[in-house]
Structure 1
Amino acid sequence: MKNIVLLGCTGSIGTSTLEVIDGNPDLFSIFLLSAKTNYNKLMKQCKKFNPKYVYLEDKTSASVLKEFCLKEKITVEVILEEEKYFELISSSPVDIVVAGIVGVAGLKPVYHAINNGKRLLLANKESYVSAGEYLNSLASEKGASIFPIDSEHSAIHQCIASSSEMHGDVSEIILTGSGGPFLNTSLKKFNKITPEEAIAHPVWNMGKKISVDSATLMNKGLELIEAKWLFDMEDDCIDLVIHPEGMVHSLVEFRDKSIIAQLSVPDMKIPIAYGLGFPSRIHSGAKKLVLTDIASLTFLKPNFEKFPCLNLAKETLKLGGTAPSLLNAANEEAVHAFLENRIAFNEIPEIISYVMNKIPVGAVKDLDSVLEADKIARSTARKRMKLKNGIIA
């Protein structure tokens, strides 16, 4: 029986993870659930999964949850202190940490999991984009194992694992992306795109932030950077193709020029089950992919002019250092502003580009240098957006 810490338990990754765990009750138990504010959903999860500990970032929500658990006689300890939360992630009873938190907010808990040699199931790509080089070195030192559970990087892991020499046989990894909801939308209409349109993804059901990233293709850009660190690949050995059907989740080309691809229905429970069960395959609860139901599989070159976030990410990949942290922070701020109707959709890459040109790239010496770059980038992005809206910053 493996003890699980689930970070971001009320989001889409967290919900899917609990579905997989529910389908394998003899294999896993919940040690800690964490969320930001959604105590209503967490109440139901506590009743069903009986975790030992729960952490809510919002203290008012935590107090409401604590009263509920006392009233319902649910034997769970509600944690109020962040320090205690990090101690529990690091503690010896924990076997697996699932990082489903969105944004750079996931960086500190990811650090604590890696620093204590845990098996980390990583859906929080922003932490590895911002601090991948540093976290890789730390994982090697502490003996932590990292399993990406976004569909693309999980697919790559599965393809590479099919080779006896693992990374030594790989010549190129090929990420796929659906192209998002605006693949066939004219660039002239991008300034009129609404948040409601941007979060309506054609293949995946995801949170708002990652849905907007998928619409700008920044999600693919972040995945390019993440892939470099997860799979120790040179920049020119990572490629991207647009695959609207969303059935081929990524491909790996080996040195003999054969290509292995991973296919399945688009369901996050599959990569989650792979990470939880590795090296065994466990029940995922996903639907079967019926090959005869697929009319065709399409692969297209990405349009870098139409989706400039891709170019920004590729440039960042070459710069290294704190550049990925600057990119990620500026993107988070711009997406947040767009979702609040404070900037237009086509202004997202403009804000990111401004921040990248404004702030010098530094070296990543430790976690603090990453967080400092993140802080400066956010401040710069906010000031820029205030000026664009005619407000004196």
Structure 2
Amino acid sequence: MRSISILGSTGSIGRSTLEVVEHLGDFRIVAMAAGRNMQTFAEQIARFRPELVACDDSACLEVLKQELDRLGSPLPNVELNSEGLVAVATHPDVETVVSATVGAVGFVPTLRAIEAGKRIALANKETLVMAGELMTAAAAKSGAEILPVDSEHNAIHQCLRGERPKEVRRLILTASGGPFRTKTKEEMANATREEALNHPNWSMGEKITIDSATLMNKGLEVIEAKWLFGFDADQISVIVHPQSVIHSMVEMIDGSIIAQLGVTDMKHPIQYALTYPDRMQNCLEPLDLAGLRTLTFEEPDLDRFPCLGLAYDALTRGGTMPAVLNAANEVAVRAFLDGKIRLDTIAELNRAVMAEHDPVDASSLNSVLSADEWARERAIIKIEKQAAAN
């Protein structure tokens, strides 16, 4: 019986992870952390009976107690706030940590889990975007294994099994193109919140869905791929593949291309990360190859989707610049979701904050957190100035 903890159990990845665990039947949920969705969290606790749980604050805890009482389920040991996340991530009985929180909140807990030598099933891409150098150095020191849950990086991981890095020419990340793949710049600029959240292929949380609409999600994945697989920016390409059947590819130096295909369901990469290096029967219907009529590919349009170009720029400049881009983008996405800015303002804001930053070395926790805090403050100030001007 293998033991796991989940950071972000009530989110889409967390819920899918629990479905996979139930299907496999060979895993024990030792610890779980959630944000503020206490009704769902209580139901999960009652079902999986973890030893330790964590939530945002004392107000959430009171709601959680009420919900568990309603369900007739006992309250496990509880930790709060960021300390709670770290406690869940570093529980001594846990072998694998599923890092599925959204945004920078998962950064420190995931780092502490890596330092503790845990296997990390990583769905929180911001962790490596913010501090890839710090994370990979910690993993090398502790022996921790980082396995990607993002469908694209998970596909790359599968394609690279048994291959020698020196024989790889480039990694090719596929992108669906999101809801605005065929829209003009003007249509995108005036897009509503509902339109931006209407992803054609994937069901995801709000933040990652907006990132997909701007292609920032793919930009963050480019940065993440560098640290996961050790390839430079000029060896990592993005291709738009609207059908989302091919999840990513690897091109070898002899011109051969290895691709990983599958159904568009996150339970597949989650199970792969949990059971690696073994493969096990999953609960999904297999891909219907005969039912595939067309597989098409397009170059990404950096004029309509400038966030992708900004990510390449941040990766090339290095140091704390990726952390700054990530922080500014989180603030901008939240502002868009709250109706404070237009969709095209996200890229403008990211570019403006990056332009003010002189990157420093990102090999220490303090430098990364300082850059993150600075970028958030600058982004908020710019949003407030824009609102005042309007």
Normalized against structure 2, the TM-score is what? 0.97
Cα offset, 1:359, TM superposition: 1.8
Q: 1:36 to 1:253 in 2, by over 3 A?
A: same
Q: 1:84 to 1:126 in 2, by over 3 A?
A: closer
Give the aligned residue type for 2:255.
K
2:373 to 348, 372, 375: 375
> Does the CA contact (< 8 Å) of 2:39 and 2:67 recur in 1?
no
> Does the CA contact (< 8 Å) of 1:10 and 1:38 recur in 2?
yes
Match of 2:300? 302
2:106 counterpart of 1:114: no
> Does the CA contact (< 8 Å) of 2:57 and 2:81 recur in 1?
no
45-54 or 204-213: bigger deviation: 45-54
1:283 to 281, 284, 287: 281
Cα offset, 1:284, TM superposition: 2.9
- Partner SS, residue 389 of structure 1: helix
Cα offset, 1:84, TM superposition: 5.4
> Does the CA contact (< 8 Å) of 2:190 and 2:343 recur in 1?
yes
Match of 2:248? 250
Please give the alpha-carbon distance, in whole angstroms, between the structure 1 residues aligned to 2:61 and 2:252: 50
> Does the CA contact (< 8 Å) of 1:52 and 1:75 recur in 2?
no
Please give the alpha-carbon distance, in whole angstroms, between the structure 1 residues aligned to 2:299 and 2:82: 45
13-22 or 41-50: bigger deviation: 41-50
> Does the CA contact (< 8 Å) of 1:273 and 1:283 recur in 2?
no
1:1-393 maps to which residues of 2 (within 5 A)? 1-25=1-25, 27-69=26-68, 72-74=72-74, 76-80=76-80, 82-83=82-83, 85-163=85-163, 165=164, 167-390=165-388
CA offsets 1:75-114 (integer angstroms, 9 cap, x no match):
6222236435524422331100000000011101111110
Aligned Cα root-mean-square deviation (Å): 1.5
Taking every aligned residue pair, what percent have the same amino acid on both sides?
43
- Partner SS, residue 23 of structure 1: helix
Give the aligned residue type for 2:153.
H
The runs of 4+ residues in structure 1 deviating greater than 6 Å are: none
Cα offset, 1:186, TM superposition: 1.2
- Partner SS, residue 174 of structure 1: strand
Give the aligned residue type for 1:291.
L
> Does the CA contact (< 8 Å) of 1:4 and 1:29 recur in 2?
yes
> Does the CA contact (< 8 Å) of 1:66 and 1:78 recur in 2?
no
What are structure 2's unaligned runs of at least 5 residues?
none
Cα offset, 1:59, TM superposition: 2.0
40-49 or 335-344: bigger deviation: 40-49
Q: How many residues align?
A: 389
> Does the CA contact (< 8 Å) of 1:20 and 1:283 recur in 2?
no
224-233 or 187-196: bigger deviation: 187-196
Please give the alpha-carbon distance, in whole angstroms, between the structure 2 residues aligned to 1:81 and 1:324: 25
Please give the alpha-carbon distance, in whole angstroms, between the structure 1 residues aligned to 2:313 and 2:339: 28
Please give the alpha-carbon distance, in whole angstroms, between the structure 1 residues aligned to 2:194 and 2:383: 21
> Does the CA contact (< 8 Å) of 2:65 and 2:75 recur in 1?
no
71-80 or 380-389: bigger deviation: 71-80
